[in-house]
Amino acid sequence: MTSTEAMRPLDGITVVACEQAVAAPMATRHLADLGARVIKIERPGPGDFARDYDTTVHGLSSHFVWLNRSKESVTLDLKHAEGARIARELVARADVFVQNLAPGAAARLGLGADELTAEHPRLVHCSISGYGEDGPYRDAKAYDLLIQAETGLMSITGTPEQPAKSGVPAADIAAGMYAYSGVLSALLLRERTGRGGAFSVSLFDGLTEWMGFPMYYTRYGGSAPVPAGAAHAAIAPYGPFGTGEGRPDVMLAIQNDREWVRFCESVLRRPELTRDERFADMTARVRHRDELRAEIEGVFAALTAAELDARLEEAKIAHSRRNGMAELIEHPQLAARNRWTEVGSPAGPLAALIPPVTVTAGPPPRMDPIPAIGQHTDAVLTELGYPADEVARLRAARAV
């Protein structure tokens, strides 16, 4: 293997992150997976408050374990003049700076986009906020739940009687992934122009983009999609269908008339349903979804699980089972493709999923330990040129 083949895509790239919670740590963890050195700046004492969300992973937080492997933890009090100065020294040596501080805080600390990109033209500066850097909602609190509600996601999730938020932090994930792709795009542009630059991402804008289908449906259809649980506002049959007492639901996703005909003929073995005016096309099937469900579940209830699986497989109808977390952890697809590995942590070795982008050649993704709070502070300060007595003084002053 040549030296080029042995490189990860972001080997040699240094990222400094003033980050907490989910969105920014998600972006930087993906950068670390690709080989970037990520120096995570945390508050002295408690650190990233996501460390305290729960203690389920041998005393560690499940959110923190998920999002913070392969990083170096440095504790700095950014409100202390010397702590903020050290942060700026780190950024001066970095390729990328990511921050999700409160609105306006980065600029007050001398870490704002205008100041840093003027001083360091090759720097890529990424700011993540709740609602964006201007507008009437600029300073509003913006936790994931609140953004899911504000963007209308909760209006189309759950049922009309019981609205629900997504079971994962959808707003945080959206912003984190747009920040990640934004950094990669900026680094690519830097390779072409020699200059970095600044960009921003907000949770609100990220999740609003994900709401594209229901917004178009509402704007041009005249009414909003009705929340339908695991069903679909514009497709039927789609979602969970009962299979008989004591057996798990089957999830169906029949998305066109060709599949509908095959489903009626080969799975239900009731071809006459294709000529039923109630089910003549997708619009009709959605309008008569309750009658449609009754027809389908009537057939399913009379079949054994093995018979139903065989019919669905033979007809090549898209379907799945509604798994819980235990079934996902032990999923045969994950096992067969060796998707699990281990990473180190302050609590010992932990199971970790390999990143979803599968590269067929070159080294594996970086899967280094999850850091303890401030684990790398002394080493990084030494790297910056601070002698041991100065590090001790900074600790006594509570700057680090």
The residue ranges of every structural domain in the chain are: 14-211+336-396, 238-321
C-alpha angle 359-361-362 in degrees, rounded to nearest 5: 100
Burial of 51 (0-12, 13-18, 19+ CB in 10 A): buried
Burial of 189 (0-12, 13-18, 19+ CB in 10 A): middle
- Residue-wise pLDDT tens for the chain (400 aa)? 455 568 899 999 999 999 999 999 999 999 999 999 999 999 999 999 999 999 999 999 999 999 999 999 999 999 999 999 999 999 999 999 999 999 899 999 999 999 999 999 999 999 999 999 889 999 898 999 999 999 999 998 888 888 889 899 999 999 999 999 999 999 999 999 999 999 999 999 999 999 999 999 899 988 888 787 777 878 889 999 988 777 778 999 999 999 999 999 999 999 999 999 999 999 999 999 999 999 999 999 999 888 999 999 999 999 998 888 898 999 999 999 999 999 999 999 999 999 998 887 788 899 999 999 999 999 999 999 999 999 999 999 999 9
d(C-alpha 394, C-alpha 170), whole Å: 39
Q: Are 399 and 78 in contact (CB under 8 A)?
A: no
Q: How many CB atoms lie within 10 A of CB 92?
A: 14
Which numeric CATH code is attached to 238-321? 3.30.1540.10
Q: Are 45 and 52 in contact (CB under 8 A)?
A: no
Nearest of 8, 17, 9 to residue 124 by alpha carbon: 17
Nearest of 117, 26, 43 to residue 79 by alpha carbon: 43
CATH number for 14-211+336-396: choose from 3.40.50.10540, 3.30.70.1150, 2.60.200.20, 2.60.40.10.
3.40.50.10540
Tokens of residue 99, six digits: 């921050």
